[in-house]
Amino acid sequence: MTVAFILLLASAVAIYLSCEFFVNGIEWVGRKFSVSRNATGSILAAFGTALPESVVTFVAVVFGAGPAQKELGVGAAIGGPLVLATVAYAVVGLTFILSKGKQDQRLFSRTSTQRLISDQKWFMWVFVAKIVLGLVAFAIKPWLGVLFLIAYALYVRQEMQPADEAGDEHEELEPLKIRPGAGNPSTGWALLQTGGALVVIFLSSQLFVHQLEAVGPWLGMPPQIVALLLSPIATELPEILNAVIWVRQGKQSMALSNISGAMMIQATIPSALGIFFTPWMLGHALVWAAVVTMASILGLYILLKQNKLSGPRLSWFGLLYVVFAAGLYFIPF
């Protein structure tokens, strides 16, 4: 078990260090392809870090040996947004509080706030639709998975529209880590660093998940609790660490865009796969996870609409994950 704890720590460190390279590289990729800061976070970075998770879901629902493995894929499609809507947002708030002396007191600009409000609307509509589908059974349900892919395509189209982001084009970026002496590295170097970091993130995340699965039973936690509570945090760790890095750099809008963009991917692509290849019927625990997720998103949406979102208020969203964990003890599996 000592080896498992050492590997757990080592994989977490590897994820963080590779996220440093990924964040740095994806910003240069966005600059090279003339992508706005918001879209760099919500589309490029989110797609990059969510792609490995989507592949895992695809393997589970398509090639799973039995119903249990397919259910794990469905659980990932629900558990991912839950972690992002609670733990990830809280981490952004806490990181902002701890580093506030280096930044302006304002959490977001007006433009960023409007973008985030739009992101929450997109997510709420899609998320409610996929939960409703998980409560009813009918013959044509598998065909409706296409609608979720279309929804993500429309979301990408909107996010790629130019926005009035002051200083976006002239913002100075940190030197590319693998080419520190180059003031303007080539697109190839930026893609190489970003792709290499993504590979390390994927491999380290898988190691982290496997060690959690080994440590959980040793701590007396049932496999179902490990799958619902710990594994989603492990799979969403890259997005969480990306947010930490960006907030420390004073780029809160990119941190939140990355999280909301990853949530949109989780709400559409893995869900479409689950609807295509499984009955997509949600059990009590997954419905409870959906309720907590919606409570968090509604709270965030209201604070954004009222322009009252702050670091301390954002940090309180993490308590909803504690509420979810407590509720699991009263819900039959």
Q: What span, in angstroms and rounded, lies between the C-alpha atoms of 50 and 152?
A: 13
Q: Which amino acid is at 261?
A: G
Q: What span, in angstroms and rounded, lies between the C-alpha atoms of 290 and 331?
A: 14
Three-state secondary structure along 48-113? HHHHHHHHHHHHHHHHCCCHHHHHHHHHHHHHHHHHHHHHHHHHHHHHHHHCHHHCCCCCCCHHHH
pLDDT, mean of residues 151-162: 88
pLDDT of res. 292: 95
Report the range out of 46-50, 206-210, 211-215, 311-315 with the highest average pLDDT.
311-315
pLDDT, mean of residues 30-36: 88
Indicate the SS3 state at residue 332: coil
Has residue 262 got a pLDDT over 70? yes
Cβ neighbours of residue 5 closer than 8 Å, sequence gap 6 or more: 211, 215
**More confident call, 182 vs 290:** 290
Mean pLDDT of the residues in the chain: 84
DSSP 316: G
Has residue 201 got a pLDDT over 80? yes
Has residue 302 got a pLDDT over 90? yes
Has residue 111 got a pLDDT over 80? no
What percent of the chain has a predicted confidence (pLDDT) above 90?
32
Q: What is the pTM of this model?
A: 0.87
pLDDT, mean of residues 80-101: 87
Q: How does residue 253 score in pLDDT terms, banded at 50, 70 and 90?
A: confident
